[in-house]
Structure 1
Amino acid sequence: MSVSTSGPTSGPAREVLLDPYDYAFHEDPYPFYKRLRDEAPLYHNEELGFWALSRHADVLKGFRNSTNLSNKYGVSLDPASRGPHASKTMSFLAMDDPEHLRLRTLVSKGFTPRRVRELEPRVTEIALQHLDTMLAKARDNETVDYVDEFAGKLPMDVISELMGVPEPDRAQLRAWADAVMHREEGVTDVPPAAVEASINLIVYYQGMLAERRKKPTDDLTTALLEAEIDGDKLTDDEILGFMFLMVIAGNETTTKLLANAMYWGYRNPDQIAPLYTDLDRVPQWVEETLRYDTSSQILARTVVGDLVLYDTKIPEGDVVLLLPGSAHRDERVFDEPDRYLVGREIGSKLMSFGSGAHFCLGAHLARMEARVALTELLKRIRGYQVDEANAVRVHSSNVRGFAHLPITVEVA
């Protein structure tokens, strides 16, 4: 592994290693991040072909510098996901202005805050449906998989509800979405199974679009078909790209948020105990989880023009990774950053949904889902235990969370 580093110090910095595909890194990236922040705030991995920014101030500037750090080749390090085709599956997340602004504005005509607000009662119903099933299995002190039974089902079902996917088809779409994200150890690109799952999702949504053209309904798919500004409308490819983005970015990250909240709540019972009798504080639990162990850990950008960082000129076309997972543990910004403290002041320092022009359009949906899901769960249990020995982490180059989280619960 050929690694070089740039920054204000040298010496031990030569030993710093960041490999987003390494399973040891997936288990606990935070010691790696601390060394990067302290020893190599501008890090260069020659073998994998990227630079990385780890300090809060640098990551924030990176998110907001859409002049020199471009999205147009995608936001993943995986080679197959990068390139001018990235927008086909990542929509406006893989575009720069003015194309980004045009598409985002049109999508916003259909994907409105009002539509999300009106969805909350239905989100509650879906959450209760899955909770009832999970807790019925858990009543006899049986171990249940929180991801399989709840956290992995709710977000995808909510997105399917938004789009108008029939309930019988939702399990299949969840399976395809999971396959798109999964990586076996040592795989540093998009595997064939993920490509196949991606094609299956696109073909399914193409069929939905064709149906909605014939018979419009009151769902997001129809709203996107009808969205128009001064005669400008979304093409089918643009709608499909956004739908795919919702499935991958919206589904995966929210599933990981829900499981991460449960895991760290278990590890920090003193922080969660007061919430059982003060459910209004559940949003604080959500926010601290987003800070402490964010789902979206690593986002890629491509250098455009002249970019100088830490007295180093970064060549045009090189990849720069922004590390919000590291930024949220930066002691230069947060007091006791490695302490899980529900209720701490976070505010605008949070970058789980990015910052600047590409701030996540679905942030309000993710927060609402997490608030509803965790509130309804706490109403129905008196406590829970996580079987840490059998918990299984997701292996992804940019998303952090659990594939399986076995728990036992004390049903209220």
Structure 2
Amino acid sequence: MELFYSPFDFSIQDDPYPVYARLRDKSPVYRNETDDFWALSRHADVMAALKDATRFSSVNGLRIEPAFWGPDAERFFSFVAMDPPKHTRMRGLVARAFTQRRVQELEPRIREIARGCLRPHLEGGTFDLMTDFAARFPTDVISELVGVPEADRDLVRDLGMAIMYRDEAGGDLPPEALQAIGALVGYYTELTVERSKERRGDLLSGLLDAAEGEDRLTPEEIVGVLILLVGAGIETTMLLLGNAWHAAWRHPEQRARAFAGRVEDWVEETLRYDPPTQALARTATEEIELHGVKIPADARVLLLTGSANRDPDVFPDPDRFDLDRDTGSSLAFGNGRHHCLGANLGRLEARIALQELVGAVADYEIDIKAAKRVHSSNDRGFASLPTRITARA
């Protein structure tokens, strides 16, 4: 069988892991001529590339769809689509506002939000984990973090969902998604102007106050960070929750252990076993030779983090879902200078959401035939997970 990989192939997206195994074994530096990219699949190679921002540049963005790829990528990805020194400056300023203390102080409100999102859907014995809970919960958490007024949160949630849910592989964003991005930019611009006149204890106020000497973020840069949070802070957490729910359902013994108090291990093993982000794009800044293959300068390179997390050289028996596993080498949140700034928040959200689910649900069954996956070149997860629950007495 001829070896083929494309992030735009729906049949591969349904279960990419056997294809990843063949790539690691047969073609660790894989060339796709049709979609014009190279792919690295082994853990050591992906890790090295993530740490090498000089030869593997981020300036053209993290995704290779035409709508996202190119010199204007920072419009969608903010500082994540920048190289030093520009990246160093902007990430440093954002980090002054997006502190661990700010995240930790949010924990009680995150738990309240989780309970409020869950409560209406657990009384009838059936609910859709994704549409009823996992989509709304992280959206409301990010709104709480940013400082979006309660009255505006339904609007922000609807615009965020219009951007995230796409059913086309490749090609440009549909018109409604572009309109939603424009509307969010307009909304966050107005909110930034309003908050500049009166600070509060939220992230937006922190971004306005962040300074390195005389250097501050511009209003446009702040809005860019807020747009980034739609994908980086909402979509990935939503997909992580669904992937954790699905993985535990498929592995009853591990589910029992997760439900018996191993929620943090459940989160970490899901991030390794079935991470929401499967690939990160880079641009080769010079010719790079690896495993006897030459990647030309200016080539698009996909770093397959989803494959790296199943590399048997790092994770023994990698296709086994095991809460006892050492997940310290997982690349679910990237590595190097672009390691996800919101990793702590993502972990906290997932832990609280799953704890609240475990506190209300004794056991559950997924109607897998009715489940639907999202279609995305670099994200993996579900748009729908119909679930029948057995409530705790």
Query: When the two structures are superposed, what TM-score results if normalisation uses the length of structure 1?
Result: 0.93
CA RMSD of aligned residues (A): 1.3
- The aligned counterpart of 2:192 is 209
In the aligned structure 2, how far is the partner of 1:39 from the partner of 1:312? 13
- The aligned counterpart of 2:50 is 63
What are the Cα deviations for residues 1-37 of structure 1, in whole angstroms up to 9, with x where unaligned? xxxxxxxxxxx6xx11111111112211111111111
Question: Match for 1:405 among 369, 375, 385?
Answer: 385
Answer yes or no: is 1:222 the counterpart of 2:205: yes
In the aligned structure 1, how far is the partner of 2:168 from the partner of 2:61? 23
Residue 168 of structure 1 and its aligned partner are, at CA, apart by: 3.0
- The aligned counterpart of 1:159 is 142
- The aligned counterpart of 1:328 is 309
What are the Cα deviations for residues 267-318 of structure 1, in whole angstroms up to 9, with x where unaligned? 11110113333x2x21100000000000000110001023222222222111
Answer yes or no: is 1:345 the counterpart of 2:332: no
1:42/1:309 contact within 8 Å kept:
yes
2:169/2:377 contact within 8 Å kept:
no
- The aligned counterpart of 1:134 is 121
- The aligned counterpart of 1:9 is none
Residue 177 of structure 1 and its aligned partner are, at CA, apart by: 1.9
Residue 378 of structure 1 and its aligned partner are, at CA, apart by: 0.6
In the aligned structure 1, how far is the partner of 2:142 from the partner of 2:129? 19
Answer yes or no: is 1:92 the counterpart of 2:79: yes
In the aligned structure 2, how far is the partner of 1:62 from the partner of 1:326? 14
Residue 187 of structure 1 and its aligned partner are, at CA, apart by: 4.1
Answer yes or no: is 1:183 the counterpart of 2:166: yes
Question: Match for 1:104 among 83, 91, 102?
Answer: 91
Partner of 1:410: helix, strand, or coil? strand
In the aligned structure 2, how far is the partner of 1:385 from the partner of 1:230? 55
Question: Match for 1:316 among 292, 297, 305?
Answer: 297
1:23/1:185 contact within 8 Å kept:
no
- The aligned counterpart of 2:258 is 275
1:386/1:405 contact within 8 Å kept:
yes
Answer yes or no: is 1:395 the counterpart of 2:375: yes
In the aligned structure 2, how far is the partner of 1:176 from the partner of 1:17? 36
Where does the alignment leave 5 or more consecutive residues of structure 2 unmatched? none
In the aligned structure 1, how far is the partner of 2:296 from the partner of 2:259? 52
2:160/2:230 contact within 8 Å kept:
yes
What are the Cα deviations for residues 69-102 of structure 1, in whole angstroms up to 9, with x where unaligned? 0001111111121122111221110000111110
Higher deviation after alignment, 379-388 or 357-366: 379-388
Higher deviation after alignment, 162-171 or 149-158: 162-171
In the aligned structure 1, how far is the partner of 2:105 from the partner of 2:313? 40
Question: Match for 1:356 among 323, 326, 336?
Answer: 336
AA at the equivalent of 2:378? N
Where does the alignment leave 5 or more consecutive residues of structure 1 unmatched? 1-11
Question: Match for 1:233 among 207, 211, 216?
Answer: 216
In the aligned structure 2, how far is the partner of 1:185 from the partner of 1:212? 37
Residue 350 of structure 1 and its aligned partner are, at CA, apart by: 0.6
In the aligned structure 1, how far is the partner of 2:314 from the partner of 2:194? 50
What are the Cα deviations for residues 373-394 of structure 1, in whole angstroms up to 9, with x where unaligned? 1111111111111110100000
2:258/2:265 contact within 8 Å kept:
no
Query: When the two structures are superposed, what TM-score results if normalisation uses the length of structure 2?
Result: 0.97
What are the Cα deviations for residues 192-227 of structure 1, in whole angstroms up to 9, with x where unaligned? 222222111111111111111222222111110111
2:65/2:170 contact within 8 Å kept:
no
What are the Cα deviations for residues 99-145 of structure 1, in whole angstroms up to 9, with x where unaligned? 11100110111110000000000000000111111212x3xx3x211
What are the Cα deviations for residues 313-335 of structure 1, in whole angstroms up to 9, with x where unaligned? 22211100000111111112111
AA at the equivalent of 1:222? S
- The aligned counterpart of 1:22 is 9
- The aligned counterpart of 2:272 is 291
1:88/1:237 contact within 8 Å kept:
no
In the aligned structure 1, how far is the partner of 2:259 from the partner of 2:377? 35
Partner of 1:81: helix, strand, or coil? coil
Answer yes or no: is 1:377 the counterpart of 2:357: yes
AA at the equivalent of 1:378? V
- The aligned counterpart of 2:157 is 174
State the aligned residue count: 392
What are the Cα deviations for residues 213-257 of structure 1, in whole angstroms up to 9, with x where unaligned? 222222111110111111100011111111111111110000000
